[in-house]
Every structure is written in C-alpha cells, then in structure tokens.
Amino acid sequence: MSIQWSEKQQAVIDARGCSVLVSAAAGSGKTAVLVERLIRLLTDEKHPVDIERLLVVTFTNAAAAEMRERIGRGLDQKLLEEPDHTAWIRQKLLLPCAQISTIHSLCLKTIREHFEVLDLDPAFRLGDEAELKLLKSDVAEDVMETYYASENRAFRAFVDRYANGKTDQGIAEMIIALYDYSRGFPWPEYWLKHCLAAYSTDEEHNGADQVKEFAMMQLNNVLTKYLPLFEEARAFCLEPNGVEAYLPVIEDDKKWFQMLGESEDYDGSREILHKIVWKRLPRTAASVDPKIKEKVKEIHADFKSEIEGLRDGYFVHTFEELKAELTYIRPSVRMLIELTEVFGQQFMAVKNDRNMLDFSDLEHYMLQLLADFSEDEQGQMQVKPTSAADELSEFYEEVVCDEYQDSNQVQELILSLLSRERKGQYNRFMVGDVKQSIYRFRLADAAIFMEKYHHYALGESQKTRQRIDLSQNFRSRESVLSGVNYIFRKIMKKSLGGIDYDDQAALYPGMAFPEAKGKNIADNTELLFLKGDGETTEPDDESLDSVELEAKLAAVRIREMTDPEHGMDIYDGALGDYRKAGYKDIVILLRTVTGWAEKFVDVLASENIPSTAEMSAGFFDTLEIRTMLQFLAIVDNPGQDIPLAAVLCSPIAGISSEEMALIRSKHSEGSLFGACMACSEETPGAAKLKKFLAMFHDIRRASVYLELHELIRYIYDRTGYYDYVQALPGGERRKANLDLLRERAVAYAAGSYSSLFDFMRYIEQLKKNQIDFGEAVMPENDKGRVRIMSIHKSKGLEYPIVILAGLGKKFNFQDSISKLVMHAKSGIGLDAVNLQTRKKMTSAYKKFIAARLNLETLAEEQRILYVAMTRAKEKLIMTGMESLKNTDKKLEIWQRNSGILGEVFPDWMLTSARSYLDWIMPAVMNGEAENVVTLRMVDIRALAGREVGRVIDKKWQKEELLQRKHTLSDVSETDVSKRLFGEEGWQYPQKALLSVKGKYSVSELKKYAMEAIMEVEPAPGMALAEKQSETEEALPDFMKDKEVDETHEVSNVGAFRGTAYHRALELIDFAGRPDERDEAWLRSQLNAMTSAGRLSGEQRQSIRIRDIADMVFSNLGLRMAEADRRHELYREAQFVMGVPVSALYPEVDSEETVLIQGIIDAYFEENGELILLDYKTDHVSKQDGADILKKRYKRQLDDYQQALEQMLQKKVRQKLIYSFALKCWIEI
C-alpha cells in the first residue's frame, strides 16, 4: 500500500534544481520524506542519480544506519515490482558504497583518501576521549612548566591574578577550555585574534560599546516590566482598605522610573541610577488589608532590587571607565591567548608523535584539504576553494544534511565547499527544526539554520533557494499538540530563541486515530504540581526529597494508567487496534539523569514497577569493575595489601573475614601477600588459599606474554568471575560492564603504551580527573519496563505515554559563572584583578558575556522543553515542585504573571525564569489553558496516603512498640549478659571503651564541655549522646508524631541564618574590600553570589547587610583583607586529627586513638604565626554575652588550635570569636 503524502511533503520530495531548506516540525515525518526523496532521485526514469554520488550527512551513526536500511528496503520494494530493472539492481549493488554517514565519518574517509596532500600517515588512529583528556592535562602542565622556567613576567602576573589560591590548576583548566572552544570555529587563530580585538578601545564596536548597548537594553526591559506594575500598585493604594500611606513612596519610585525612561544615553542613565535615594515605607493603619499591603510592598522592593542590580552590575563605570578597564585587562587576555596557541601547537605535536587525531582534527584537516584561507586588508577571512574541493563538488550531485539545526560553523563551511552553490548550481538540501536545536554544548549554532530560514523564499517563488515548512504532526493526538502549542505560543519568541512560535511554527494534527468507542483514551495534557500543606517542613537534603516525591507521583500515575481493567487504552499500529497500556509504553524524561534516574529506579522498584535507566556515570563504582581492577592491580604488583585483601574477600578467592584475621594474626609483619604465601605452606587446611594462589601464579605467568585485552579475557575465564556476575541481580548489565572494560583495554593498547602497569596508571588518572565511561548500554531486550532517560537521549524517538519530570529543577548557568567565560561573537571575559591592592572584581565585559550566555541558555532550555513535550503520542504528563518553603510565594508570583495581557509573555518575564515551572505555571494558571492543559495540585500528604498498606503497617508497629515499651526498659544490661554468658560469663577487659565512638566532631566535644560546665556527670563517651526523657516514647524518629514546636522552629530559623552568614563570609572577596565602609559593595557581592547560584535566595534574604558589614569593615576584617591579598587567608578549612582516648576521657585507661573532625571557619597567617577565627550567631545579652561565649566555645577553639598546629607546624597566636549579636570580636 503506497503512502499518501501531504501536499507539503510531496513538495519536498519533488523539489529539484534549487537548494532547499525544510523546516520540519516534530513528528512531521521528515525522515520518511527524506528517504522517499532519495529513492526518487535514484530511480528517476529520466535523470537517475547514482547513490554513490549523493552525499548524505546525518547527526549519528545510528541515524545513518537507519537511513541506509530504509533506502535498501525501498529499492527492494522496487525490485519486487520489476525484478529485472537493471538501473535499480545497480543502485542496490552500489548501496554499500553510498556516502551516508556522520560529518566525522565523511571527513575521516576523505582525508584518508587524500593523505598525501595533507602530509598525514594514513595509518593514523582516532584518540579515545578519556585518553585525549589526560593528554591535554599533561601538555598543559608541560606548557606551564616551560613558562615558569623562562621567568616570563607577564606569565607570572597572569598566574598571580587567576590561579586558585596556592595551586595553578585553574590556569591549566582555562587554557584547555579556551582551546576546546576555539576548535569549534573554522579558523581558531583568527577567532582568538578577534577575542583580543574586543579589548582594543580603538577598534570599532569594541567591548565597551557592546557593554553599553546591552546595559541600555537591560534597563529598557526593567522599565517595560514595571510600567503596568506601578499602575497596579497605585490602584492598590487607592482601594478601600488600601495602603494609601504607601502612595508617596510609589509616586517617588515612578518619578525615578520616568527619569530613567527619558534618558537616552549610557552615562546619563548611569548618573540617574547613582543619584536615586529610596524613600522608606511608612507605618500603616490597622485597617489596611494585609494582602494589599504585601503586594504593594513587594512591587516597591522588587523595583528597588532590580534597579540596584543594574546600578551595581552594568552601570558601575562611566563609558570612559569601561574602556579603561578593557585596556587594563588586555595584557591578561593576550597572555591567555598566547598560552592557548602554544598549548595547541604542543598538543598537535604530541598527537603526531602517537599518530593520533581527534574529532576536531578531522574537521580542520578537511577544511585544509578543501580551501586556502587568507586575511584581507579589512581583517576578514577570504576562502579560496582548492582543486580537491572542485573535484569533490563536481562528484556529488546533491549535498544533503539531516538535523541541520545542530550544525556548527566548521561543518557548515565544509558542506558549503562540497556543494556547487559557488558555481551557481544550487544543490544543497537541508532538513531540520530550529526548535529542536539542543546541542549548544557541542558548539551547535542555531543561527546557521535561522539565517537561511529568514532568507530562503517560502514556496516556489524563488528558483535558487526555497524553504518548505512541514508543520503537520503525524505522531501525536490533538490533545498533546494543543498543550504544546498553547504553552509555546506563550513562551517562545524571536527576541529570545530566534523564532516566533506563530501559525507557521505551530503543530497541526496529521495522524487520524481510529474511533475509540467505549475505550479509555487519553484526555488533556496534565501538569501535576506537588505542594505542601503550608506547615510541612523539609529535610536537609531537599533535592533528594523532591526527587523521591516526584518519583512516587510518577509511580501513582503509572499504576493508574496500567491498571488491567480501568487503565488507559492506547492505539497499537502493529495490531491495528486499541489495547491496554503497559509499562513498555511509558517513558520518564529527565533534564539530567545524574542524581535523578537512580532514585526513580529505586522508588519505582519499591512500588513493584520494573524500570530501566541508562546511567551516564558509575562505571568505576560497580562491584564487578571494582573487583576486576583490584585483581589487575595485584597481577601488576602483588605487594599492594588493600587490593589483595579485597580480592581475597571476593568470590574469586572466597576467604572469610575470620580467615583473613587468622592469616594476619599468624604473620603480622610484612606484606599481606607474604603472609598468604606463608600460611598456604604452613597450614594444612588452607585449601581455598592454596587454590587461589595457584590460579593467581598462573595468571601472573600468563601476563608476561598475553596482550592486555587477552589477559583480561583469561582472568575472566580462569577465575569464573565473568559467569559468576551473571547470576547476580542485573547480571546481564554486569557482564556488559566487564565486556566494556576489555574493550577499553583494546582501545588503550592501540596507543603508544600497552603494558598492564601503564593501563592501571591510566585508570587511576581517569579516576583522579573524574572521567567516567558510564555503565554499559544494554539492548532493549526486556520490553516490559518503564524507560527512564534524559531528554537529549529521547530526541528523534516517540512513546505512547511520556512523563516529563523535574520541571522545578533549576537551570544550569555554569557557563556564565566560570573564571573564564566564552562566547562565539563576543569572545572571552576575565575578571579585573589589581595585583597591588589584591582586589578582584568581575569586569563589566565579563558580566556582559555572562548575561549573553544566560540568555542563550534560556533559549536552549526552551528548545529542550519543546523536544521533551513532543515525544508523546497519546498522553503527556508533566510533574514538578518548588522548594516547600517557597511554594506559596511562587504560586502567588505565577498567578500574578498569568494575568499579563498578550498572547506572548514579555521578555522580562521569560528571561527571569530559573526553571521550566517559571514558564509553564503562569501559562496554565491562566483560565485560557483550561481546555488544553489540566493543572492538578497534588498535596504531599495525599500522595503519601497512596501507600495505604504501609501506613497501616507502620501504625500497627508503633502501637506494638508502645505496648512492649515497658519490657524493653525493664530488662537491664546485667540480665541480658547473664542470659548470654551465665553467672560467671566472659567479661570484656576494656569495658570502658564500649561507650567511646571511633570519631567525634568538634561540635560534639563542645557539647560535652558545656555539660561539664553545667556540672553534669555523664558516663564516659555517653556525654555526647542526647539525653532522652524518661517519659519520652522509645520510638524510632521516623515513627514519632510530628508536632508543632515553636522553640524548635525558632531554633531552625536561627540555624538557617547562621548557615547563611557562614556561607556569605566563605565567599566574600576580602581581597577586594574597599578601605572605607561600603555597604553597596557588600550588597553587590551578595547579589552576585545569589545570581551565580552559590548563595540561595532564601539565604540572601536572611542576611542583614549591616551585620556582615560590621564584621567585614572591622579592624580584624582589614587584617583578613590584607591576608587575602597575600593569599594567606583560608576559609572553611576541614581537618581530621587523631588523639588518644585518654585525652578526651582521663578516666579511661587506654591509648586507643579516636578521630576528631571539624571545619574551621577561617584562619590567616600573620608574621609567620596563625590567627584563628570563628563566627557565632548565638543570641546572647550584652551584659554577660562575652563570658558565656568564651565558656561555651573554649573547648571547640582549643581543638581547632591543636589541629592547626599539628597540620601546619606553626603556632596559633590568637583565637578569636566574632559575635554577630554583640557586634564585636572576643579573644579566647
């Protein structure tokens, strides 16, 4: 049965004689259309094209294989119709030769065929990603050693400015990051030159000009946002029971607002911003509606905060000062570029020595083959195609690129050179969807697609360049598409993502689902928002809790949808009929699987729902890989006790803990391997040990002549461990992990080093650099499971039911908060560091680049959301939650934003989003969404109530424990001892040690000291445990009733504020401290921490600026600043030290060692001695507070002193506490 193509699809298939851009929306059947077009080209009766003369570039090897297979099936169908058609037989025979591949496979094939032109050894190999990372690290270290040896003053100054404390590792990371980023451009050296030009103030459109334009745009966005809000605030003030007393303040705000709106230039706006003096909000009458009061107060506070953010962010300097700052930073930028270029040369030399290339080399060698490049007088790059480019472009009849939206600049230039467009023959065919461009981290540039999208003619009016839009979706139900269209009409616009989600971009249903009478088919898209009851408190690990809650919610919906009687019916194309949904029909999509997928698998398993997830890390943490690497370690060197002990206790040897103790007790001196050898010869009964050692010696002898991968295979077979792991839970994956280890050994041995010793060093370096392969990918042989995967992995796939979870997860703005920020058009941004004053400030140009990166991150997050929502065929369910403390406030903001008029949300609202919920909730809380997206508020307690069986079971256990409580309390330790050992039973000789722990925190010891001060005499070691009331129920914490405890709540608030103050003081740039008290500087520091995600919004709100200022601008704060400028201030310093038990408990006669661990708030070095500092937020009275704090914390600071003096071998001269309550330093 032939496929009925839509009009637009047919136009794509038939387009000839011009370059074509196909903008193919999700589910539009682009792959099927592309394959049909290629088959039509091959089988055209008048002008057939040989398949080997078609160049087809795809994004993945899997996509290339699928396309080749589809074309083969199409040709087979043609041959069934006409078996003797010679032209089609020829095409079928040529199919294996077809150039259908990824861009890297194309480059690899082409440069191997032209190796002599490029002066390459054709036997080169592609480097392994992990191997290349380690090589880069080594080369960067070598480059820096060379510069250190040369005593280059500019280099030394650069290191002083940008090194991390006392290590220069951060410099190496900057060099590698800039090198990797530059390789995404056709001419890396030219791009680096462009980066330096931005710091030349005589250049047109230099960095200062860019900052000025961006700052004015940001100011305009703020003014646009508050235009309606001021009117709203004014109306609130004038309402009955309104807050009229606030009206003068709002009018004053509006005055500044109007002045800023009338200013037309940067310096004028800056002057106004720095003149603003805010009026204080007055007291209000008791009759004022508190809700109205809070709304007006919030508008004023938000306007003030955003204006101050602009003032302290983009309008700090005058325009002339901006240019001066660029001039000051320019030498540092020049040095970083120089280091990067030298690194690139040495890295290439090392790769040449190993006859190795990386993927970036493939692209750049391809460019070198295809074109000669030169710079003209205006500094623009000129491209001259080579004879090889002319030859190849003549050979390829059509240049096809699938997933064109994910191309980068290098790939675009390669495909352009392989086409005939420069000769006036338009033979390019590009298909993609800019709304699905989600590989920015691979330097994909959506602007390449958009440039053609806006310039190619829509329809057939243009004969050279034509654009065809495929907007019909042949995948999803209309209910899914309606939800997608509604949300993206609200949030996707050209100013942020490069494209307006208008009628041309919207999705239209093209799939005709059969009538479903009496069936329970999917209805609207669902948004399930988890919220507390207003009193719910959160655990310390909030993220873990939220993940588990969302997983539980997903499990509830999965249970409902897969119920055999009442579950959802879905249409099965293979059956041609409806059937009940099963686990295999469901996918859970996550923005990131790290830290999420494992929790979802565990929670679903607890609900007896089978699931599978592909993990991106964890290879080295698996039992089988740990065991095998330990075995390889002792094959290389048996003298390693820890790996040997692990192998002996593993199933490979089967030695028990008791047997291990016996071996060591007999031979306590020397290595464990020596002890094992001796015991195997002396002890007649050591059969297991003898058997293992005999096998081990065989393997060691074999290691001399076997290749690395052969040795690993031999170990698997000889030990039987490969078969053993298959019997464990997840056995197939475990075997696959062992196979992956052997594959890695094969890849490693292909390099210059191939010995076992080198391989083990390589593995250790991978672990040290936190490079993980991820567990082996399993084929989907078990179809009866819910799949869990990242949104990126789901691209190009489709599923009947999609659960999109984690919508409240915060966006990752990591690119914009690094020491070095990089942008394709604006170049690179560095901090401004004054070596004389040791003051470091984020430069205006770096802030500007960071802001551009944040905007691009937001644009890509919109596209990622679009990909996720368009995977669903029948049903889309979205879940999310906010921090429970913030839920009510967030709901109020979303509700207010939902009332914003207009089909598309304004820029300020879109760019202020920090999670998907910030876009979706305002869209669906509007009454317009009622018929397309169903919003359900899910109470956390109601969700927990789904576990009826568990709740009943828990209640019964509690009642039983209470009934038996008297039995437990009445039985003494003596009674138990007599039952076990008799009246004259064995007595442990060190009974006093039973109550002593192996490790204590300094806080515990402090508490012990405080009890001693209060004349409490606890038993040794037990002083550190909480005393339990005699009347308190002896129940586990999780079974106790939750009751409101106001004292506890106050304590929690105080603890939270203390944590916030400590975090702020850890992050504040003391080196950049102004000489005079400057609370604005401090405020900008805290705001920057919050913007970067290093200080939470709640923490920021709990901090009183004046409290921190009192400490920072004290005399001791000045000493801290001077130490920081010398790189001698250390904060949040962790330590562990060992002390004899008798040092803690004199009454215990033992020299056993216990560990003490703690974190020192701060210390600094001054004249060769140490000054120890601690911050306290305890509420104490001014009258005797100092004495109380001295008594309370003397033990703690004494322990800190002992730890510092032991670690650093330097004397602690002063121990000081800063009391925020007393606003002073107290010497201990």
Secondary structure of 1162-1183 as H, E, C letters: EEEEECCEEEEEEEECCCCCCC
pLDDT at 764: 82
Is the pLDDT reported for residue 555 higher than 60?
yes
Torsion from C-alpha of 742, 743, 749, 750, nearest 10 degrees: 160
Is the pLDDT reported for residue 1208 higher than 60?
yes
- pLDDT per residue as tens digits for the range 1155-1181: 777 889 999 999 889 999 999 988 888
26 labeled binding residue: yes
Q: Are 373 and 185 within 8 A, CB to CB?
A: no
Residue 1205's pLDDT band (boundaries 50, 70, 90)? confident
24 labeled binding residue: yes
Domains 7-102+376-470 and 1046-1227 share a fold: no
Residue 699's pLDDT band (boundaries 50, 70, 90)? very high
Q: Give domain limits for the chain.
A: 7-102+376-470, 525-614+782-818+864-944, 619-768, 1046-1227
Q: What are the two backbone dihedrals, phi and then psi, of residue 918, each rounded to the nearest 5 degrees? A: -65, -20
Is the pLDDT reported for residue 1111 higher than 90?
yes
Q: Does residue 405 sit in helix, strand or coil?
A: helix
- pLDDT per residue as tens digits for the range 92-101: 999 998 999 9
Q: What is the mean pLDDT of residues 863-868?
A: 97
**The listed CATH number (1.10.3720.10, 2.40.50.140, 1.10.486.10, 2.30.22.10) that belongs to domain 619-768:** 1.10.486.10
User: Angle at CA 772, nearest 5°, toward 768 and 776?
Assistant: 150
Q: What is the mean pLDDT of the chain?
A: 85
Q: What is the mean pLDDT of residues 995-1014?
A: 54
30 labeled binding residue: yes
- CA 883 centroid distance within chain: 19
27 labeled binding residue: yes
Q: Is the dihedral of CA 145, 146, 149, 151 positive or negative?
A: negative
165 labeled binding residue: no
pTM value is 0.74
CATH 3.40.50.300 fits domain 525-614+782-818+864-944: yes
- pLDDT per residue as tens digits for the range 116-141: 999 999 999 998 887 888 899 999 99
CATH superfamily, domain at 7-102+376-470: P-loop containing nucleotide triphosphate hydrolases (3.40.50.300)
Is the pLDDT reported for residue 104 higher than 80?
yes
580 labeled binding residue: no
Q: What is the mean pLDDT of residues 789-794?
A: 94
- Residues 6 or more apart whose Cβ sits within 8 Å of residue 816: 849, 850, 851, 853, 854, 857, 1092
Residue 462's pLDDT band (boundaries 50, 70, 90)? low
pLDDT at 473: 95
User: Angle at CA 781, nearest 5°, toward 776 and 784?
Assistant: 115
Is the pLDDT reported for residue 736 higher than 50?
yes
Q: Does residue 802 sit in helix, strand or coil?
A: strand
Which DSSP string corresponds to 266-334? HHHHHHHHHH--PPPPPP--TTS-HHHHHHHHHHHHHHHHHHHHHHHHTSSS-HHHHHHHHHHHHHHHH
Is the pLDDT reported for residue 183 higher than 70?
yes
Residue 84's pLDDT band (boundaries 50, 70, 90)? confident
- pLDDT per residue as tens digits for the range 1061-1096: 988 998 898 988 888 888 878 887 887 787 666 787
pLDDT at 683: 63
Q: In terms of C-beta density within 10 A (0-12 exposed, 13-18 middle, 19 or more buried), how is residue 885 classed?
A: middle
pLDDT at 1025: 34
**The listed CATH number (3.90.320.10, 1.10.10.10, 2.40.50.140, 3.40.50.720) that belongs to domain 1046-1227:** 3.90.320.10
Distance CA 799, CA 1173 (A): 58
Please count the other Cβ atoms lying within 10 Å of the Cβ belonging to residue 190: 16
Which DSSP string corresponds to 27-96? TS-HHHHHHHHHHHHHH-SSS---GGGEEEEESSHHHHHHHHHHHHHHHHHHHHH-TT-HHHHHHHHHGG
Residue 1214, by phi and psi: left (phi above 0), alpha (psi -120 to 50) or beta? beta
